[in-house]
Structure 1
Amino acid sequence: MQATIRTLVLLVVLAAMAGCSNLYRPGHGGNWVGHTETGKASFYADRFQNRKTASGELYKIGRNTAAHRTLPFGSQVRVTNVRNGRSVVVRINDRGPFVRGRVIDLSRSAFASIGDTSAGLLNVRMEVIR
């Protein structure tokens, strides 16, 4: 019985890991520069002002920062609104977003510099530049 449970747990862990294939870039030695993604960008709600991010920094609405699921903290990313071509450079200092289809969660000021916050979501292309 215990062997069956262990096997089942192992299978679940392996299945979960298979879904996280973008955690590392094999063959790139951890160098993310040039990595691109497309998808939806959201922005932090005002209530997160002055709360700790995953990196330990406080979230500040006026700073160009962002959350990404896997990029190293401190990475600089150019985020471009695919509809109007406007772009902003942000620094990754948090983890998220954890909503399917969203690739980055921007500070309010970063989002506002490339699109209208009343839209709530933007279609973006992001590229790691440093």
Structure 2
Amino acid sequence: MRVLALTLLLILPLVSGCGLRPAARASADPGPAPAAKKSSSSSSSSKKSSSSEAPRAGRVFEGKASYYSDRLAGRSTASGEPYDPKKLTAAHLTLKFGTRIRVTRLDTGASVVVRVNDRGPYGGRGRIVDLSRRAAEKLDMIRAGVVDVRVEVLDP
């Protein structure tokens, strides 16, 4: 009898979770970073998926840009390719990999065309794009670290 009771006590916690379904989560659209502003040329009726969205040429975002640390060189990006600080690449939370975007620094007008190959930036603070070192150099933002930018989708 004791063996049966002990066996039930050991098995009960294992079996108790088997029949339960996890609570349904509302699928939230990550969209641009929270403080990012969309220009009037974008439409709120666009259909988006939770992992990446089909970019539309001409879509525009405004927010902050930062750039990758050199320590990340060689590490895999979300697309699987290694991060190369010498390439003109960027991270965006929702745009599909391979999307070309123009990033324009709002205070100087300097711009650079980059290819999205990673996910991010994470952590909010109004950042909408992370740039490779070379892209950041073209925008002359190395010293500042974070600058206000406009991001325009050029093509998927």
Q: Give TM-score scaled by structure 2 length.
A: 0.70
Residue of 47, 50, 53 corresponding to 2:74? 50
Gaps of 5+ in 1: none
Contact residue 121 and residue 130 of structure 2 kept, 8 A: yes
Gaps of 5+ in 2: 1-16, 33-44
2:37 alignment counterpart: none
Q: What is the count of residue pairs matched by the alignment?
A: 120
Distance 1:26 1:110, change over 3 A: same
Q: Give TM-score scaled by structure 1 length.
A: 0.83
1:60 maps to 2:89: no
Contact residue 25 and residue 32 of structure 1 kept, 8 A: no
Letter in 2 for 1:42: S
Deviation at 1:22, TM superposition (A): 3.0
Q: Which has the higher contact order (CA 8 A, sep 6+)?
A: 1
**RMSD between aligned alpha carbons?**
2.4
Structure-to-structure mapping, 1:6-85, within 5 angstroms: 9-10=23-24, 13-14=25-26, 17-18=27-28, 20=29, 22=31, 25-26=46-47, 30-85=54-109
Contact residue 39 and residue 124 of structure 1 kept, 8 A: yes
2:139 alignment counterpart: 114
Deviation at 1:21, TM superposition (A): 5.7
Letter in 2 for 1:40: K
Return the structure number with greater helix share: 1
Identity rate of aligned residues, in percent? 43
Greater C-alpha radius of gyration:
2
CA distance in 2, matches of 1:75, 1:39: 18
